[in-house]
Chains A and B, each alone.
Chain A
């Protein structure tokens, strides 16, 4: 079954430091990959998506992710963390031909410290 694995359920960084949230996917066909963010008591907000147009994807709030087929990875990065980035982040996949069903990773809680 197609899935995504997020390494690290909790990540803590200092304000101004690099943010790196890891996501690996397993899919036998080209996937569509997404990163979502969830703030407390809110729904999910789309940060960025990979749909095979370009391997480096830029999203909102300064986030970006690079699709690496050889590593089956789609890690999320941000050069400089801000306090407002503290939230839970989910990687998700839609498999081509599998309908419009999102399969989510288990999430990574990002903590930003002063």
Chain B
């Protein structure tokens, strides 16, 4: 059974650019969430999608956005990149609420 797949694994972008990260959840999982991990702030919740609808949103600026497609695949977009956006971005999928998440290996974004 395939796990959660995130692409790309590594990314280097320049300040001011935008970036799109992709996540394919485990087959049958309809809940997809995104987290940002940094040494200073730890693991922070970005947003959660269920059946193409954003169900929860964390405390991040509007430059961070996401969407979910009908096949449950999800993308997150960060516009006007800042140096502080450098982080490991983790996607996770879940079969149902309160069930716990399965995480992907993450996308390491470096903004220079």
Contacts and interface: CB of A to CB of B under 8 A. Distances in A.
Interface in B53-112: 55-56, 58, 90, 92, 94, 97-106, 108
Interface in A25-69: 32, 34, 36, 41-46, 49, 51
Interface residues on A, range: 20 to 34
A104 B100 CA distance: 12
Contacts of B105: 41-43
Contacts of B97: 94, 99-100
B44 to A, nearest CB: 8
Contact of B45 (A34, A51, A103): A103
A34 B100 CA distance: 7
A100 B43 contact: no
Contacts of A49: 99-100
A44 B89 CA distance: 11
Given A99-B48, A100-B55, A102-B45, A43 B100 contact: no
23 contacts: A32-B98, A34-B100, A41-B108, A42-B106, A43-B6, A43-B90, A43-B105, A43-B106, A44-B90, A44-B92, A44-B101, A51-B99, A100-B31, A100-B50, A100-B55, A100-B56, A100-B97, A101-B48, A101-B58, A102-B33, A102-B43, A103-B45, A104-B35
Interface of A: 32, 34, 36, 41-46, 49, 51, 90, 94, 96, 99-104, 106-107
